[in-house]
Structures are given as C-alpha cells and as structure tokens.
Amino acid sequence: MLIWRPNVVNYIVAFFIILTLNFFLPRLMPGDPLQAIYGDDALIAMTPELKLELIQRFALDKPLGEQFVAYLRALFRGDLGYSYYYHAPVVSVVLGYLPWTLLLSGLALVLSTLTGFILGVEAGFRRGQGLDKLLLTTLMLVNGFPDFFVGILFLLLFSVVWGLFPLGGSLTPYASLKGFDLVLDILHHLVLPLLTLVVVRCVNIFLLTRSSMVTTLGAGFILTARAKGCKDIRVRYHHAGRHSLLPVVTAAGLHLTHLITGTLFVEVVFSYPGLGTLLYNALMVRDYPVIQGVLLILTAAVLIINLMLDLLYLKLDPRINYAR
C-alpha cells in the first residue's frame, strides 16, 4: 500500500489546484465578482438585501485568504452555490442529473473498452486477413465522425425512420412504471445514446489493442505458449490479450476526457437528462454557478477514474511495483 501513496498524493494536489483555479477565476475577472459569478441577468433582478446576503455568503468583504477558506468550507459542506435559474442549491440540481450521466458514461466506458478490446484482439490476431481489413476500414471511417453526428444519424435512422427507439429522454414520462418494466424502459431509452458512444469511443481502444496485439504476437512468450500446446483462443486472450491490455488501460485514462465531452454532446442530441443537458441549458441561460458546479464535478470524476485506473494498472502489471 505504501507503494502507491505518492500517486494518491499527486491526485490530491491536482484536485486542490483545480479547486484553487475554480475559486480564483471569477475573482480575477474585471469588475464585480458577483457579476462574474452570477452574470448580468441574475443581478438585474437582485434586491440590495439579497446582494448583501450574497456578499456575506462569499465573504467578499473579507481579505482574499479568508474568502478562500470560506469557499473551501462551503465546498466541504457540499455547498456549490445557489442557482437562481432553478431556484435551488447547485448541489441538488447537479445530483438530480448526475445519476443519468453516470449510468450512460459508466456503461459507455465499460462497453466501449470491452468492445474495442475484443475487436482489437480478434483483428490483431488475424492481421491482414478479411475480418481485420473489414474492421479496420469500418472503424477508421466511424472514427472520422464526431459523436454528435453519429448520434444524429442513429436518431434519424432508428427513431425517426424506423421508430425502434424513443426520440429522447431517459424515461417514458408519466408512465409511472415500476420494477422490471421500469428497468426495461430505462434500457430502451439508453440504447441509442449508449450505442452512439460505444461505437465512436471503441475505435481508439480498437486501434490501440490491435497494434499492441500485433507487437505482442511477435514476442517470444507467445511462441512459448503455442509450444506448450495452448489452444488458439487461450493464446489470443490469456497470453497475447492480457499483455496487450496494458497500453489499453493507460490510454483508457487518457481517452476518458473525450468520453466525458462526448457524453455531454450525445446527451444534448438525445435530450438525455444528464449533466450534458444541464450544462447546455445552464450555458444557454448563463447560469454560472451550475456551470461551475458541473465542471468541478466532472474534473473530480476524471481524477477519480484516473486514480482507479492507476491502481488497476498496478494489479495488471507486476513489473510496476518492482521498478519503483
């Protein structure tokens, strides 16, 4: 456990820096920080009493150090500010949308990595053969499209033209479904946005796995495995695949940010009630506290998932511990 401690420290430092930036940016902008925090529109409707309350709340009449402490305290209480658009604390607004994004992006992360990996292993193993060429060409083509474009394409084809899936949302409104029916309904709504993300996001994983497979298959231990009498499938996954997984896990962390931005776009396309839609709406109405809150949550999520991948990597590659 001692071994990965510096790693965790890195993440804590990174998170702290982000918090600091989040604190300073509005205050560094010219003019009234309240204006920077809430925007012009919100201030027009503001009464002097409310303004005074807000100044106290952010400790704007105190020195910068105390303001920072106040900011951190509020943060640890779970106070991300107040949205005047939703008339609710930012935390509760964000928490209302967060589960849908977690569901969508989490499943997309797992499924796209899995799909990309399996396709990559199979294509790499059959390098230069029909299946490999087919996969490579198709996925390279898909790779050229942005997420939202594929999303729109799917939406048009599957929902508008063929009517197989709902046009948007995460649930059938007012259906008050329960139990298994509810799960089915959720999945039914989830299919298209998830499919869009998986299709687009698996390409990088696929390409990486494939090239990693091609290198790995030339390694001596593959020959050793075959000489032992291993079946093809065992050579492919237990030996070559397992080894090819290493760069994939590294890259999964790097691609995570793309996945998250991708999720935001796709949510907007499918009117999926996640953080993306929230962010989009907040941008439209310049609801700065919500924007800031969403971004903070997202950065925290990216950091946490990266940390988890780092820890996973330690499990995957015994040589890392040794090298330290």
Residues that bind another protein (CB under 8 A): 219-221, 223-231, 234, 239, 242-243, 316-319, 322
Report the nearest approach of another protein to the CB of residue 213 (Å).
15
Rounded alpha-carbon distances, angstroms, from residue 75 to 60, 114, 292: 16, 36, 12
DSSP one-letter string for 131-198: HHHHHHHHHHHHHTS-HHHHHHHHIIIIIIIS--S-SS-SS-TT----HHHHHHHHHHHHHHHHHHHH
Q: What is the amino acid identity at position 250?
A: T
Measure the CA–CA gap between 109 and 115, rounded to whole angstroms: 10
Report the nearest approach of another protein to the CB of residue 237 (Å).
13
Report the nearest approach of another protein to the CB of residue 206 (Å).
22
Which is nearer to another protein, 32 or 317 (by Cβ)?
317
Which is nearer to another protein, 192 or 235 (by Cβ)?
235
Residues 6+ apart with CB under 8 A from 247: 208, 212
Report the nearest approach of another protein to the CB of residue 163 (Å).
48
Measure the CA–CA gap between 87 and 296, rounded to whole angstroms: 20
Q: Dmax over Cα atoms in the chain, in whole Å?
A: 82
Which is nearer to another protein, 295 or 316 (by Cβ)?
316
Which is nearer to another protein, 172 or 250 (by Cβ)?
250
Report the nearest approach of another protein to the CB of residue 320 (Å).
10
Report the nearest approach of another protein to the CB of residue 323 (Å).
9
Measure the CA–CA gap between 56 and 26, rounded to whole angstroms: 16
Which is nearer to another protein, 147 or 310 (by Cβ)?
310
Task: Tell me which residue of 167, 188, 181, 177 sits closest to 270, measured CA to CA.
Answer: 167
Which is nearer to another protein, 77 or 319 (by Cβ)?
319
- What number of other Cβ atoms are within 10 A of residue 277's Cβ? 22
